[in-house]
């Protein structure tokens, strides 16, 4: 997919490889421990140092963490092993990306980490996942069950009016969020931005993002790059976007 891995900065450390999928991590600081794993993040606000106009509207106070131990995933249809004895830990300030060819199990692994029930219909699963705090998951495509939901229903119960800076940055207006328009009828970029806004309004502690740059306009892409680079939230994402990864 045109991803030139050799161009990844040296400050990225290779954590693990599984079934043709590679996990590359960027530590919260500029150092990588001798094992190749990110050093623990220092304490402080999740949004310390972030150049984002809406950061003060959030009050994330928890210490998010995500850990997987001895994960094995097999496709039921042919018994193919797509994840092999995979273990990792993401702590506050860590960012990691799963890269690899299509069909190698990246999305399946991300779904398993969020909720193993999402993959049990087509995968045999082994291993454990330990999460501290609230997980937020952005799927690669809008779930079928959400397609007929209106924007007003999708954002019901959120205090989006307290975060006008976030909405403005994503190009979303309060009127748009109150619309009777269904999610299915939105453009590809609008779907992604609406889902990102909904995830952040829930004040997550860990982010799992599957191809978050799909269909985003340039302004939203730049915002997402800044957010992922500066956020103190642990982030695990899938991408073929070389610029975003770097």
Structure tokens at 16: 């693990």
Average pLDDT, the chain: 79
Q: What share of the chain is helix, strand, coil (3-state, %, to 5)?
A: 30, 25, 45
User: What is the bridge-based pairing of β-strands 206-210 and 235-238?
Assistant: parallel
pLDDT band, very low/low/confident/very high, at 217 (cuts 50, 70, 90): confident
Task: Over range 181-186, report the average pLDDT.
Answer: 95
β-sheet bridge partners, residue 74? 81, 124
Nearest to 213 by CA among 177, 239, 178: 239
Q: In 10 A of CB 120, how many CB atoms?
A: 13
Asked if residue 207 has pLDDT above 60, the reply is yes
First vs last Cα of the chain: how many Å apart? 15
Cβ burial of 177 (10 Å; 0-12, 13-18, 19+) is buried
Return the minimum-mean-pLDDT range out of 20-29, 78-87, 211-220. 20-29
Q: Looking at the DSSP assignment, which residues form a beta bridge with residue 217?
A: none
Tokens of 70: 């001895």
* Whether pLDDT at 164 is above 50: yes
pTM for this predicted structure: 0.78
- Residue 45, pLDDT above cutoff 60: no
Question: pLDDT by residue (tens digit) across 101-122?
Answer: 888 899 999 999 999 999 999 9
């Amino acid at each position: 997919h045109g991803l030139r891995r050799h161009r990844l900065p040296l400050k990225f450390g290779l954590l693990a490889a599984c079934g043709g999928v590679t996990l590359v991590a960027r530590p919260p600081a500029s150092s990588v421990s001798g094992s190749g794993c990110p050093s623990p993040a220092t304490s402080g606000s999740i949004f310390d140092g972030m150049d984002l106009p809406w950061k003060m509207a959030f009050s994330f106070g928890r210490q998010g963490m995500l850990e997987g131990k001895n994960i094995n995933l097999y496709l039921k249809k042919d018994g193919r092993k797509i994840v092999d004895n995979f273990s990792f830990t993401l702590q506050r300030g860590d960012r990691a990306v799963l890269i690899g060819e299509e069909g190698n199990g990246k999305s399946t692994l991300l779904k398993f980490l969020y909720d193993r029930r999402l993959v049990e219909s087509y995968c045999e699963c082994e291993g454990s996942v330990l999460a501290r705090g609230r997980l937020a998951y952005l799927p690669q495509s809008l779930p079928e069950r959400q397609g007929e939901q209106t924007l007003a229903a999708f954002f019901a119960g959120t205090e989006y009016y307290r975060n006008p800076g976030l909405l403005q940055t994503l190009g979303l207006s309060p009127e748009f969020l109150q619309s009777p328009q269904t999610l299915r009828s939105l453009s590809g970029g609008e779907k992604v931005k609406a889902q990102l806004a909904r995830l952040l309004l829930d004040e997550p502690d860990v982010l799992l993002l599957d191809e978050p740059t799909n269909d985003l306009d340039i302004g939203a892409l730049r915002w997402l790059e800044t957010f992922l680079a500066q956020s103190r939230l642990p982030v695990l994402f899938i991408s073929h976007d070389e610029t975003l990864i770097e």
